[in-house]
Amino acid sequence: MAKGKDEWLFAINFVKHPTMLGSVIPSSRWLIRSLLAPVDWERARYFVEYGPGVGTITRHILKRMHPEAKLLVLEINDDFVRHLNSAIDDPRLVVRRDSAASLGTVLDELDWPHIDYAVSGIPFSIMSSEDVEAVLKETRARLPPQGEFLVYQFSRHSAQYLHRSFDDVSREFVLRNVPPVSCYRARSNGGIGPSEAPAPM
Ligand SMILES: C[S@@+](CC[C@H](N)C(=O)[O-])C[C@H]1O[C@@H](n2cnc3c(N)ncnc32)[C@H](O)[C@@H]1O
């Protein structure tokens, strides 16, 4: 489907489900460049993307990832799931109509050993804190210490969730996007997450 039609489908869905999308147009190329800058394309074999929408970031990942790598996308909007299945023909892509909070179950079904990168644009600021915590817990549990969670968020308040769940979080602000956006890079040192650790005596 042409880029204009992708944008049209995205805008229609923003009108139908404004809180599910959080933004009226897909990610800009400046946002995508910053978000994916940390990726080691030669090494990584297992990618996951939460909330691919019409596949704007998905296509970039597929273009750059290794021929033997795989990409799982988790999306809860039926229109977008249908669109992704019909518009992108790549055997390395797995599209699932599931919430990001179901990551562990889906990975077990697919028999993936771990993930190297999780990429996310789902809007934490308009989700319940229980849902956000579930997504972060599932993600952290499946990322090895050298793995990274690459996240973009429109609200700066979302950073608190990342800091609570990951040991090392850095941020880059991208002005050339509608609306301007923060890109986060989150890593853990292994072991249980800071928010799950017992309180000091
Ligand atoms: C801001 S849009 C991002 C679209 C696309 N990634 C882009 O860059 O243009 C957020 C997307 O997250 C999806 N979404 C919201 N909550 C989700 C969840 N819990 N699990 C998976 N996808 C979700 C929405 O349906 C929507 O497609």
Architecture of domain 3-189: 3-Layer(aba) Sandwich (3.40)
Indicate if ligand 1 lies below 6 Å from the C-beta of 57. Answer: yes
Nearest to 21 by CA among 182, 186, 178: 178
Ligand 1 pocket test, pick from 31, 122, 136, 178 with the greatest ligand atom count within 8 Å of Cβ, gives: 122
Tokens representing residue 101 in the block: 């909070």
Measure 198 CA to ligand 1 centroid, in angstroms: 33
116-147 confidence digits (pLDDT tens): 999 999 999 888 999 999 999 999 999 999 99
pLDDT digits (tens, 9 = 90+) for 81-96: 999 999 999 999 999 9
The dihedral sign for the CA sequence 154, 155, 156, 162: negative
Q: Rounded to an integer, what distance in angstroms lies between the CA atom of residue 41 and that of residue 97?
A: 26
pTM assigned to the model? 0.90
Q: Is the CB of 55 under 6 A from ligand 1?
A: no
Rounded Cα gap, residues 176 and 170, in angstroms? 19
Interatomic CA distance for residues 9 and 180, integer angstroms:
21
Q: Is any ligand 1 atom within 6 A of the Cβ of residue 100?
A: yes
Q: Chain-centre distance of CA 101, in angstroms?
A: 11
The verdict on the CB of residue 51 being under 6 Å from ligand 1 is: yes
Q: In the structure, what pLDDT confidence band is assigned to residue 201 with cuts at 50, 70 and 90?
A: very low
Chain segment 29-60, per-residue pLDDT in tens: 999 999 999 999 999 999 999 999 999 999 99
For the chain, percent of residues with pLDDT exceeding 70 = 90
13 lines ligand 1 (CB under 6 A): no
d(CA 87, CA 155): 30
Burial class (CB in 10 A: 0-12, 13-18, 19+), 123: buried
How far away, in angstroms, is 100 Cα from ligand 1 center? 9
Q: Which residue has the higher pLDDT, 200 or 30?
A: 30
* Beta strands per DSSP E along the chain: 46-50, 70-74, 93-96, 117-120, 148-153, 168-174, 181-187
181-187 and 148-153 beta bridge pairing: antiparallel
147 touches ligand 1 (CB under 6 Å): no
Q: Quote the pLDDT of residue 81.
A: 97
Going by C-beta distance under 8 Å and a sequence separation of 6 or more, which residues neighbour residue 124? 132, 153, 155, 158, 161
